[in-house]
A and B are shown apart, each in its own frame.
Chain A
Amino acid sequence: MPDLNPLSWWARLLALPNESRTKTIAMAFIVSGICALLVSSAAVLLAPMRDANLAAEREARLAAMLESMPGLADIVAQYGADSLETVVVDLETGEPTDIDPATFDIAAAAEVPETSSIIPGEADIAGLGRRADLAPIHILREDGELRLVILPISAVGYQSTIRAHLALEGDLNTVAGLSIIEQGETPGLGARIEEPAWQALWPGKELAGDDGEIRLSVVRGRATSAYEVDGITGATRTGNAITSAIHFWLGEYGFDDVLANLRQGAGLQ
């Protein structure tokens, strides 16, 4: 009669010589099974806290940017927080959609083929590979007049993907502010794009020249015109990434249709 008691199987397995094939395979499966269980339970149990941390971080940075912009806090206070509306727009058509912004995650959408498109090689100056078809933007109006538009931009930097919010004033050509949301650049060099002192250089810069071509860029050394922002010494590639993020996201594959619609005052009411 075969022995069906699992405990005695276990004892027999442990008693096998270490070099036997059965024990080698059994040990491999047992150790990897236990490790898989450990890793996946940690991931599942801690996921809500991690997501909450990420969401809180995003909101805190948006709030910090709104505060840093002159006069903006007053407007928000005057009209209530509702005056800042968030719309998910379709980047192809430039039209708003009725998707709830609270449930839309642009970074996650960019990774799924159904909700994103491949950026053609020569147009992919930001090195992103693919971008989401939809994007959430924030719009602030005062008496029906466009006061502020906040666009999410991103690019691959020196060693991380940099995500930022670019805020434009009502004329859609003057920068109201830039706020870095997420980056993992070299501490002390590229990571200094997070410093308030550097981000304070942005308000008032001009986006495009008279011909409509985007000219704003981060330069090496000191800025000499309204289309230039001081670079950070030792962080040329991080600065270049910010430049290409602006050029990409305001260009053909980014928000150009959205901005055109906003200029005409059509659609995005």
Chain B
Amino acid sequence: MKRLQHLYTPLIDNNPVTLQILGICSALAVTTSMTTALVMSLALIVVLVASSMIISAIRHHIPTSIRLILQITIIASLVIVADQVIQAFAFDISQRLSIFVGLIVTNCLVLGRAEAFAMRNPVGLSALDALGNGLGYGLVLLLIGFVRELFGAGTLFGQTVFPTIHDGGWFTPLNLMLLAPSAFFLLGLLIWAIRSVRPAQIEPADYEISIEPNRRAP
């Protein structure tokens, strides 16, 4: 089942967020609660799979000189449609996601998969690759969202887990968890944890810093 590799390797081994460091901007913005993280992940998976399939289907007829513009046009159209659908059917959540669904267009993950994979592979494989990468992205979002919502607000999916002192409970919410920097910290810790378990993911340094013992200051 070599084909299925494209589906599961992006989950951890080749995760788009933790290994390729793609799409972290939205990972910071929508992970203050699990609900927004989940809806954002679903929207991204739909857009990513659809755009990969369309681009892969017409890949033999895309002129090289305008390939990026064509890809972006297709992705942007799908994103607008996804945004409209969310506004029509999940209005509350669309209010909280505000502009971030629209910003899927600028998510390097989508364009990255289109350019790196869908342009060179058949439709079925591209769909699997897109689905795998989308799930890998969603997994990281939900993990970060879990920690941020639990410790930042004491809730999960809006349901109270730790009663906060605002409501007469014992839990003092960590406001830092609701600010963007905490997502950076959590993402950094996550990458550290994954690379400790899988040392193969550690990248070689681009430039070695070496200090010559005999060198004197000029």
Contacts and interface: CB of A to CB of B under 8 A. Distances in A.
Contacts of B179: 188-189, 234
Given A42-B85, A53-B87, A197-B166, A187 B178 contact: yes
Contacts of A53: 87-88, 91
B70 A42 contact: no
B74 A19 contact: no
Contacts of A197: 166
- Chain B binding surface, main DSSP class: helix
Contacts of B99: 184
A242 B159 CA distance: 29
Contact of A38 (B64, B81, B91, B95): B81
Interface string A174-191: 000000000010111100
A28 interface: yes
B64 A18 contact: yes
Contacts of A81: none
B71 to A, nearest CB: 10
A124 B84 CA distance: 32
B84 A46 contact: yes
Interface string B96-112: 10110000000000000
A220 interface: no
Contacts of B74: 31, 35
A252 to B, nearest CB: 32
Counting chain A residues whose Cβ lies within 8 A of the other chain, the interface size class is 20 to 34
Nearest to B81: A42
A27 B88 contact: no
Contact of B66 (A24, A35, A54, A233): A24
A83 interface: no
Given A57-B91, A234-B175, A35 B77 contact: yes
B153 A188 contact: yes
B214 interface: no
A19 B81 CA distance: 31
Nearest to B85: A46
A14 interface: yes
A97 interface: no
Contacts of A50: 84, 87-88, 91
Contact of B77 (A19, A39, A57): A39
B73 A35 contact: yes
B54 to A, nearest CB: 9
B42 to A, nearest CB: 17
A233 B175 contact: yes
B210 interface: no
B33 to A, nearest CB: 7
A24 B63 CA distance: 6
A215 interface: no
A32 interface: yes
Nearest to A195: B166
Contact of B32 (A18, A38, A188): A188
A135 B91 CA distance: 26
Interface in A95-120: none
10 contacts: A14-B61, A19-B63, A23-B61, A24-B65, A39-B77, A46-B85, A187-B36, A188-B32, A189-B178, A234-B175
| A-B interface, 6 closest residue pairs, ranked by CB to CB distance from nearest | A188-B178, A35-B77, A53-B91, A49-B88, A46-B88, A24-B63
Given A18-B60, A24-B66, 4 more contacts: A35-B74, A50-B88, A187-B36, A188-B178
Interface of B: 32-33, 36, 58, 60-66, 69-70, 73-74, 76-78, 80-81, 84-85, 87-89, 91, 95-96, 98-99, 152-153, 166, 175, 178-179
